[in-house]
Amino acid sequence: MKKFILRGAILILLILLTDFLIGQIFGMMFNKVRSGSVYNTTYGIRDCKDQILIMGDSEVKHGLVSNLFSDSLGMSCYNLGLDGNNVFFQYGMLREIVNRYTPEIIIISKSIALEAESSVTSLFPFYDDFLYVKETILEIAPAEKYKLISKAYMYNSLLLKIVPGIFRSDPETGGYSPLFSGQNRMNYNLVPDTVYFKGKSTTRSRGYYDKFIRLAVSAGSRVIVITAPRFSYVKYAETDEFNEIVQNDDVIYLEYENDPTFTGHADYFYDEFHLNHKGAVVLTNRIIYDIKHKIPGLDDFPID
Amino acid sequence: MERTEVINQLTVLFRKVFDNQALILFDEMTADDVDQWTSLSHVILIAEIEKEFKITFQMRDLNKMDNVGAMVNLIMSKL
Amino acid sequence: MTFTSFNFLIFFPLTVLACYLTPVKKRWITLLLASYFFYISIQPVYALLTAGITISTYIFTRWMEITISEKGKKRLMVANIVIILTPLFFFKYFGAVNNGLMSWLAGTGLTWPLPEISLILPVGISFYTFMAIGYTVDVYNEEVKTEWNPGILALFISFFPLVLSGPIERSGNMLPQFRNMGRIEYTNLTSGLKMMVWGYFMKLVVADRLGLYVDVVYNNIANHNGTSLLFASLLHPIQVYGDFGGYSLIALGTAKILGFNVMANFNRPFFSVSVAEFWRRWHISLIKWLTDYIYTPLAFSMRRKGMTGIVIALLITFLLSGIWHEANWTFIIWGLMQGIFLSFEAITNRKRISVESRYRLNKKPYYILFNIVLTYILFTSSLIFGRAENVNDALLIYQKIFTAPGPLYIEKSTLIYSFIGVSILFIKDFKDEYFPGKLEFFNNRNTVIRFASYIVVIFIILLTGVLNGSQFIYFQF
């Protein structure tokens, strides 16, 4: 029995030691990442000072071309969009951003608040070093305080994002990630004439979306809420509560869903949910045109 | 009928039902010891035993057949 | 809470500690309280249902004990079974039957008086109901002694390692263990922990990761081509094995730590060389239950009909198995497919055996491999119905598989993680199947190797497992 307890204690010690070592190794690798979503997120939370920030999920990550914004508007632009992410994550990142500086313009997609699980796992690696990220995580998921003691847990599912990111450098598209039809990474068949019902927001996701907008506005940024186009028609199973939050006087609201330029045009889409590069260029130019008319001071620049 | 006679007749039956001429029965033998003896073939076996010995089993008897020895005892009790 | 929720990792050690501190004779009280606490933390109201079924079962089995006439006993048994099945029928099937009748009548222009119904299923109801029925029948057949302590009976029916998703245990195995509990042994602690760790590996690293791919394809059938649908379908049985097999292993490990031996639910099913063997290795506790309480009595009553009787019994048994899984035509078809496969094997059994022995096929690796692959494909094909939302979707998937090939949908990181997890699982199962006892890791005599393996597996789970909460497939059964 004594032997058993002794062995058990040794095993536990070894586990703690291994966890610590993994934390050190992953931490080192993390800092060497030069491309990919891990790099984008780190850049957003730790480094960025760009004047225009694009935030949201894969719709904007693959749909808004940063370099076009910077060329047309004469302001630096970075696309901080992240695949499969949500308003809770974006809020945590924004808190760190405005603590550091005030972006002139923040473009945020509407859909990140829909069907959003309160999952902030993408923020975990920043828990130890970034106070506002830590606060956000603990606000949303207090139990994580205990789980994040384990460094291996902190870096869960990041191995395959970190390693390639170390060896490949940033393609210098300012965070924008173009999709080219026929790449076959995802093979969705576009099914014409369908109608998609978009999901519902939750009280929590609406709450955080509201907090996001208020934080950005009070920091002094111009907030632009956009809805990116999809191949199919879109209908909302949504109440007015959410629309009140996104369509108020503090924000500029630009809607491109169900826009005839895009809906049903297969050559602009990579799959049902995402534009390809050709479509992204078209969308970006539309947005630039629209915001030039709506933001004073921007119309000094020639309209393309 | 003597026990040994029952066992002999049962052996012939087992060999026929499970298609294995090398089978030798012993008291502690169970389904685990015979390749083809499954719940599927068990019912076939039971039906054959009934035909052969001209007896009838009740459902309750099935649960008492833990091994071949118990099976033999049960058959004898019905003869 | 479920086995994969954080709360369980707090609840369980506390329960073990509480049991350790409780004197042996009173330990059933601690376990009963823990089990009800566990259940109430998930669905408080339905704990009343569990209690109700326990009370009914207790009363009727005690009553059977003092009843002398055979007929009387039988009536009591049937009465209790009906009482136990009523909530199951109501929660699980009433809605489906009601809505089915409603839409059928709508087609003929008549209106159905009741509104559309959708009820939340009490968790575990399909499992503990079967355990209670099994006990009732066993008492009638005098297989087990009637349990006089209502607390112990209540513990049997609500025992938290088993209540949510099985294995469906037998009173004959569990009641004696509950009545005679031993000390908390450290050997049980280590073997139980090993089972739990491997169970978590199977569920979090293999099943949940595969699920990320399979779900994306199956939830968007219209958008994916036949090749992707085929690939997802082929992965799906492995996902279910990891999910349900892993969860069962965690249940077994949990029970083991508490000092109880529970039957295994899975035994490396993908090495089966026939559908019959598959069903002796997959969801073993359910099949054992169905065999003992449905198939054998049915086949026995029809034994004079020869092979016809057996086929009918097989079809009915597996039809019921399908219905047990879900109140959906898809599962009825799934069940019937199993029945048909098994009937075909039963009918052709003699012929196959004689061909196999003539050519000594059973020892030839390629023949074994052929049968393994064939069995896997048969099961996969039936599981397409199991996974699809409805029959139309399932038929569409079949149609696309045969008529709409195309480039495979690839989600790189999901597939790479999956490949790693599945490989490790497969290698371990392969080794255990064909080289048992050799090259052990968790059970190696060398402490260094053992500790190293625990650490490697634990950190694979922490680093590559899907840890942000995904539902276990068999949860709402």
The residue extents of the domains of chain A are 52-149+168-300
Asked whether A281 and A65 are in contact (CB, 8 A), the reply is yes
> Radius of gyration of chain B from Cα atoms?
11
* Rounded distance between C-alpha atoms, residue C393 and residue B39, angstroms: 35
The whole-angstrom distance between residue C88's C-alpha and the CA centroid of its chain comes to 17
**Of the candidate ranges A111-115, C18-22, C403-407, the one whose mean pLDDT is the lowest:** A111-115
Which tokens in the block code for residue A92? 């945590």
Nearest C-alpha neighbor of A251 from the set A215, A285, A280: A215
pLDDT in tens, A108-158: 998 877 766 777 888 999 999 999 999 999 999 898 999 999 999 999 988
Q: What are residue A225's DSSP bridge partners? A: A108, A253
Angle at C183 between CA C181 and CA C184, to 5 degrees: 110
**For an interface test with B, which of C349, C350, C355, C356 has the most B Cβ atoms less than 10 Å from its Cβ?**
C349
* Rounded distance between C-alpha atoms, residue C126 and residue C289, angstroms: 12
Identify the pLDDT of residue C198. Answer: 97
What is the rounded average pLDDT of the residues C254-273?
A: 96
Which tokens in the block code for residue C304? 């004079």
Chains B and A touch, contact meaning at least 3 pairs of CB atoms under 8 angstroms apart: no
**For an interface test with B, which of C275, C284, C300, C344 has the most B Cβ atoms less than 10 Å from its Cβ?**
C300
H helix or E strand, kind and range, residue A52: strand A52-55
* Rounded distance between C-alpha atoms, residue A121 and residue A129, angstroms: 15
Q: CB count, 10 Å around CB of C15?
A: 22
What is the residue whose two structure tokens read 């260029």?
A: A281
Which tokens in the block code for residue C252? 């077994």
Identify the pLDDT of residue C131. Answer: 96
Assembly ipTM? 0.90
Handedness of CA C344, C347, C353, C359 (dihedral sign): negative
Is residue C16 scored above 90 in pLDDT? Answer: yes
DSSP C259: T
What CATH topology corresponds to A52-149+168-300? Answer: Rossmann fold (3.40.50)
* Rounded distance between C-alpha atoms, residue A67 and residue C318, angstroms: 62
Identify the pLDDT of residue A187. Answer: 52
Nearest C-alpha neighbor of C457 from the set A154, A162, A13, A15: A15
How many beta-carbon contacts under 8 Å exist across A and C? 79
| Residue A76 Cα distances to A158, A284, A291, C207, C329, angstroms | 29, 15, 16, 44, 58
CB contact under 8 A, B47 and C303: yes
Q: Cβ contacts (< 8 Å) between A194 and chain C: which residues?
A: 222
* Rounded distance between C-alpha atoms, residue C338 and residue C320, angstroms: 11
Q: Cβ contacts (< 8 Å) between C190 and chain A: which residues?
A: 4
Handedness of CA A65, A67, A68, A74 (dihedral sign): positive
Contact of C455 with chain A, judged by CB distance below 8 Å, is answered with yes
AA letter at C268? R
AA letter at C369? L
* Rounded distance between C-alpha atoms, residue C28 and residue A65, angstroms: 65
* Rounded distance between C-alpha atoms, residue C264 and residue C210, angstroms: 23
Q: What are residue A226's DSSP bridge partners? A: A109, A254
Residue boundaries of the structural domains of chain C: 6-183, 188-464
CB contact under 8 A, C6 and A143: yes
Percent of chain A with pLDDT over 70: 92
Residue boundaries of the structural domains of chain B: 3-78
Q: What are phi and psi of C403, to 5 degrees?
A: -120, -5
CB contact under 8 A, C141 and B46: no
Is residue A304 scored above 90 in pLDDT? Answer: no
Chains C and A touch, contact meaning at least 3 pairs of CB atoms under 8 angstroms apart: yes
String of b and e for A15-38 (b: at least 16 CB within 10 Å)? beebbeebbeebeebbeebebbbb
Give the chain C residue whose CA is nearest to the CA of A11. Answer: C451
Q: CB count, 10 Å around CB of A224?
A: 22
Identify the pLDDT of residue C470. Answer: 41
Identify the pLDDT of residue C330. Answer: 94
Give the chain C residue whose CA is nearest to the CA of B63. Answer: C143
- What is the distance in angstroms between the CA of the first residue and the CA of the last residue of chain B? 8
- Kindly report the nearest CA distance between residue A233 and chain C, in angstroms: 15
Instruction: Give me the sheet containing A105-109, strands edge to edge.
Output: A77-79, A52-55, A105-109, A222-227, A251-255
Q: CB count, 10 Å around CB of C21?
A: 10
Continuous H helices in C241-364 = 246-257, 275-281, 284-290, 296-301, 307-325, 329-347, 349-358
The whole-angstrom distance between residue A13's C-alpha and the CA centroid of its chain comes to 38
**Partners of chain B (3+ Cβ pairs below 8 A):** C
| Residue C469 Cα distances to A115, C3, C417, angstroms | 16, 11, 17
Identify the pLDDT of residue A148. Answer: 94
Closest CB from C300, C306, C310 relative to B40: C310
* Rounded distance between C-alpha atoms, residue B54 and residue A69, angstroms: 94
Pairing mode, if any, of strands A52-55 and A105-109?
parallel
Percent of chain C with pLDDT over 70: 98
The whole-angstrom distance between residue C379's C-alpha and the CA centroid of its chain comes to 15
* Rounded distance between C-alpha atoms, residue C169 and residue A62, angstroms: 52
Identify the pLDDT of residue B78. Answer: 85
Q: Residues 6 or more apart from A243 whose CB is under 8 A from it?
A: none
Angle between helix axes C125-140 and C171-179 (nearest 10 degrees) is: 90
Is residue A183 scored above 60 in pLDDT? Answer: no
pLDDT in tens, C88-107: 998 888 888 887 788 777 77
AA letter at C347? I
Identify the pLDDT of residue A116. Answer: 63
Identify the pLDDT of residue C177. Answer: 95
pLDDT in tens, C117-143: 777 888 899 999 999 999 999 999 888
Angle between helix axes C186-200 and C246-257 (nearest 10 degrees) is: 160
Q: Cβ contacts (< 8 Å) between A23 and chain C: which residues?
A: none
What is the rounded average pLDDT of the residues A51-67?
A: 93
Which tokens in the block code for residue C272? 């089966």
H helix or E strand, kind and range, residue A283: helix A277-294
Which tokens in the block code for residue A237? 């199973």
Is residue C252 scored above 90 in pLDDT? Answer: yes
Contact of C456 with chain A, judged by CB distance below 8 Å, is answered with no
Q: What is the mean pLDDT of chain C?
A: 91
What CATH topology corresponds to B3-78? Answer: 1.10.1200
